[in-house]
A = this chain, B = another copy of it.
Amino acid sequence: MWQSSAAAGRLLLCSGRSWLQLRGYSSTVISGKTVEDGVLSSFRSICGEDGVSLGQAVREQHGKDESVHRCCPPDVVVFPRCVEEVSALARVCHSHRLPIIPFGTGTGLEGGVGAVKGGVCFSLRKMDAVLDLHPEDFDVTVEPGVTRKALNAYLRDTGLWFPVDPGADASLCGMAATSASGTNAVRYGTMRENVLNLEVVLADGSVLHTAGKGRRPRKTAAGYNLTNLLVGSEGTLGIITKTTLRLYGVPEATASAVCSFPSVQAAVDSTVQVLQAGVPIARIEFLDDVMIDACNRFSSLNYPVTPTLFLEFHGSERSLEEQVSTTEEITQSNGGADFQWARDAETRSRLWKARHDAWYASLALRPGCPIAGHVGDGNFHCVMVVNPDDPDELHRVHLFTQRLARRALAMDGTCTGEHGVGLGKRSLLCEEMGDPAMRAMQSVKEALDPLNLMNPGKVLQPGGPGDAQQLFLHLD
């Protein structure tokens, strides 16, 4: 199965798998060179006997994310326990010209963790401390093993929370690396707006703090924005070993709502008008009729089988009333019907059950093409259920993906509203950005990773200058 996405007003393709491209690429993949015994001894001396694994199961587990991209196991998996170990391991890799692939929770959707050129997977799960919580300044620093759910559990009694929610219980450093967002980005922004500082180990083992060591400025104009250069770099510029995050006060109250519409356009118009009216909506999610039908069947619900918006409001008790009534008026003026809303947790959870189960509902659907979208961002997912063993079907899906992405691009949009580029979107990225921007990205990559050791083969097209160098290094 793959998913993809487009938008309200214009189209944003989110996550399409480029099958042919992937297959074409795999024929040029160089099988991982055997890691020498001396290298393994060095790794073991750095992070202990149980910090280095060559086992096939472990390597395969670390060569694949949650997408359909085929598994590319690394030659070895290392489990560092601190930034000093990450740095020491990177120095060994650097001196032996071994690719480095950072691994968080493996919940990505663009094949970002596959070791397409072999090399060493850095699994960061042992580094799982929450550090330096500053409630009065609304910030916290976490190591890469800390997931968003673990952080929010840690924060439970502080009155604070971290809102970026891509669905999966991803690691926060991995979310920074892939510029994750999700359902409530419309209110709280994505990782781009919520990372204050990053500790990064570069390919040569040097340790960089993108906003200076230990700093956590809420606002700064201090030199080039290295923080946002690393956010979304997908492991191709360095290994993120610490992330300092902006926190938010837990809202006093929450309300959820659901509303059915006679057409996609009516739902989209309602969304635009709700935003224009300045309603500080926390989530506004769209499911089309096919998706609603699948959810009804999967979750035993009985929503009208029409385009539907799922909404969530955060605020004080008083402000919620106003947000909900303004929104209801707008939906009614667009022909919306069956507007239901609730404040108590149980009813809210029931109202949103269809949206939460959408992923699994679509897995149970075959064939079909439902659409689910974070319409507040102009971003939607188009979910297609495919048989990965049917090459003809995969080919047709690939052609459809390309068409969908190009339609998004033709409407001033992007081929990837979220989920990143990874393996699957590299050629579309070139179409989206154009040559000068791609050259700039290549030169930034070469500036920070001149040997192309950091997660090689991702984001940038094979055949770029960095990639050629990598081939050279492997062949000589």
State whether A217 touches B417 (Cβ < 8 A): yes
Give the distance to chain B from A228, nearest Cβ to Cβ, in Å: 4
State whether A418 touches B219 (Cβ < 8 A): yes
The answer to whether A288 has its CB under 8 Å from any CB of chain B is no
State whether B444 touches A216 (Cβ < 8 A): no
State whether A221 touches B417 (Cβ < 8 A): yes
State whether A440 touches B208 (Cβ < 8 A): yes
Give the distance to chain B from A52, nearest Cβ to Cβ, in Å: 27
Closest residue of B by beta carbon distance from A236: B224
With a cutoff of 8 Å between Cβ atoms, the chain B residues found around residue A221 in the complex are: 178-181, 190, 232, 414, 416-421
Partner of A224, one of B206, B232, B414, B416: B232
Partner of A210, one of B12, B181, B437: B437
State whether A223 touches B433 (Cβ < 8 A): yes
| Interface window among A43-51, A273-281, A340-348, A467-475 | A273-281
The answer to whether A398 has its CB under 8 Å from any CB of chain B is no
Most B C-beta atoms less than 10 A away, residue of A159, A218, A226: A218
| Interface window among A77-85, A91-99, A312-320, A351-359 | A312-320
A-B contact pairs, 5 of them (CB 8 A): A218-B377, A222-B416, A223-B459, A252-B278, A316-B322
* A interface residues, Cβ below 8 angstroms from B: 9-10, 12, 134, 136-138, 159, 178-181, 185, 189-190, 192-193, 202, 206-226, 228-229, 231-233, 237, 248-249, 251-252, 272, 275-278, 280, 315-316, 318-319, 322, 326, 374, 377-379, 409, 412-421, 425, 429, 432-434, 436-441, 443-448, 459-460
